[in-house]
Amino acid sequence: MQESPKDPEKVLLVDKPLHWTSFDVVKKLRYHFKLKKIGHAGTLDPLASGLLILCTGKKTKEIESYMGLEKEYTGSFVIGHTTPSYDLETTIQNPKDITHITAQNISEVAKSFLGRQLQVPPIYSAVRVEGKRAYEAARKGKEVKLNPKEIEITKFEVEAILPEVKFRIVCSKGTYIRSIARDFGEKLGTGAYLAALRRTKIGDFSVEDAKSIEELTSHENL
């Protein structure tokens, strides 16, 4: 009896496109390369682009070690409005006056996020509540209460271009940038939502070294 071919042992850096789920990427590569073992080392939301680490074959045993690495994100918040999901998945609402907000106000609020802190995850997230994903209840209009989790933010750089605030954030595993948008808006007193997000680094891995889905699937073998 002929043995089935083994999956190659690879760590892949993928530049996930906007509107793809992390599982969409896994599914695409699994099918294209006929892989049995493949997984990603940390979800990236469909409304975010950027670095996704995938492991194949025996390298899948190393996934946990990559998940714990520090992350870097760039993107933008829009202040003066909110959304139920804290990003553009849901309707923009609650307009507020922002004419009194200055670049100094924004810089001071950004500095207040540095260090260890407790963060409440977004209700539109995959966090489990009583065995179910929080987003499932949120999308049905049900009230969801999530417990805060400890995170750490080591860098928070901003460029104020009102009403859009561009940022670069370096943070620990488990940090939700959407929750930072929510909390940022609350501290300003204007509300805010996440308008754009890109993951640029995971530990020492950079999106500059990642390949697109098209580049990877233009070959027959990994």
Nearest by Cα to 163 from 100, 205, 73, 115: 100
Exposed/middle/buried for 13, CB within 10 Å: 0-12, 13-18, 19+?
middle
Active site residue 24: no
The predicted-structure confidence for 114-148, as pLDDT tens digits, reads as follows 999 999 998 877 777 767 777 776 777 777 788 89
- What CATH number labels 71-202? 3.30.2350.10
Tokens representing 169?
A: 């954030």
The predicted-structure confidence for 170-194, as pLDDT tens digits, reads as follows 999 999 999 999 999 999 999 999 9
**Residue ranges, CATH 3.30.2350.10, the chain:** 71-202
**Residue ranges, CATH 3.30.70, the chain:** 11-68+205-217
> Which 8-state DSSP code applies to residue 218?
T
Strands 71-79 and 164-171: antiparallel
Q: Is the full-model pTM beyond 0.85?
A: yes
Instruction: Report the CATH fold assignment for 11-68+205-217.
Output: Alpha-Beta Plaits (3.30.70)
pLDDT means per 10 residues, the chain with 222 residues, are 67 97 96 96 94 97 96 98 95 97 97 98 78 72 84 96 96 96 98 98 98 95 88
Active site residue: 7, 15, 45, 183, which one?
A: 45
